[in-house]
Copies of this chain bind each other. A is one copy, B any other.
Amino acid sequence: MSATIPHIHWTDGALRLLDQRRLPHEVEFVDCHTAGEVAQAIRQMVVRGAPAIGITAAYAVALAADAAWRSHGAQWRTAIAEPLAVLAAARPTAVNLHWALARMQRCMAALGGAAPGPVLAREAAAIHAEDIAANRRIGEFGAALIAPGSAVITICNTGTLATGGYGTALGVIRAAHAAGTLTEVFACETRPWLQGARLTMWELQDAGIPATLIADGAAAALMQRRHIAWVIAGADRIAVNGDAANKIGTYGLAVLARAHGVRCMIAAPTSTIDPDTGDGSQIPVEERGADELVSFRGLPVAPPGSRVWNPVFDVTPAGLIDAIVTEHGVVEQPARHGVRGLLRGR
């Protein structure tokens, strides 16, 4: 199968999501008919990746509004508050979720007395399409920073599966590969969820980009032993001072990069920048359950009762980031001026 199958697919009052928990070896879809089902799919990581979560939540608003219209008619707005709150609480770190909900609420506020579902579904589709277009621009801006003959390290999955399509960090990698400047991508397997092994390797293989899988702990030895030009990662929330939350392990890669003369790029749409978050200390970091570390597909890999600390994001200070790349342009050395300037075009 191909990594290019649509993973967020809206069809007549239902949202079909590719179940990313089972990829790449099992291809199954989850059909969501209610906003509650979408929220559960986000919580359980059927769909993940900050931009993809935002797009999915936008479609869920259309589902919620349609259900509210059918049950409450012209009073549909009173019935939608609860499903919106459930969606907003599905996962705490990625701000794209809140950004998408806010945009959908602005669309709702402008609606007349007709059935809201179709208009909101079109708005969600617009968010979806704009994200793909933004990724293409991120790819171009990011690739322009990559010199010929570059090997790079990436973490987690920031490709089609994490976005509307194409990808953020993986979009930069795609564009650099297309430009002929990229020699090789090293993909950290990205424990505990193995997004790098399961999803990124799949997308890179599908795109014909030379890719090598490494254990997360091997990144330091890789930087020690051969020249790596960039660490390229996505983000789940960027504070206005340039601090960036991303998949657990990103901060460590950034520290290692600085110690080895490797540059660090964060690639994300401006929907990832939170104007209300001054710095990284204000970003809520989700901690998930012990099961992700003590078992693998139901097989135990640690003794029963093991205590676990499982934060699934960390925060990289702006001072360790060499470039933040968005669809509205690049901020190099974001620690100097922050990223508020990127929000003007948003």
Question: Interface of A with B (CB < 8 Å)?
Answer: 24-25, 155, 186, 188-192, 194, 197-198, 201-202, 205, 210-222, 224, 247-249, 251-252, 255-256, 259, 290, 293-294, 296-297, 299-303, 305-311, 314-315
B307 touches A217 (CB 8 A): no
* Chain B: minimal CB distance from A283 (Å): 12
B294 touches A249 (CB 8 A): no
Also in contact, A218 and B314, with CB within 8 A (given A24-B303, A259-B255, A296-B296): yes
B202 touches A216 (CB 8 A): no
Residues of chain B contacted by A314 (CB below 8 angstroms): 218, 220-221, 224
A215 touches B259 (CB 8 A): no
A216 touches B213 (CB 8 A): no
Residues of chain B contacted by A211 (CB below 8 angstroms): 306-307
B191 touches A306 (CB 8 A): no
Partner of A216, one of B191, B210, B306: B191
Number of copies of this chain that the complex holds: 2
8 other A-B residue contacts (CB within 8 Å) besides A190-B217, A219-B252? A25-B303, A197-B301, A202-B302, A205-B303, A215-B293, A217-B249, A218-B311, A221-B314
* A211 to B198 alpha-carbon distance, docked (Å): 29
* Chain B: minimal CB distance from A321 (Å): 15
* A290 to B188 alpha-carbon distance, docked (Å): 14
B305 touches A205 (CB 8 A): yes
* Chain B: minimal CB distance from A285 (Å): 8
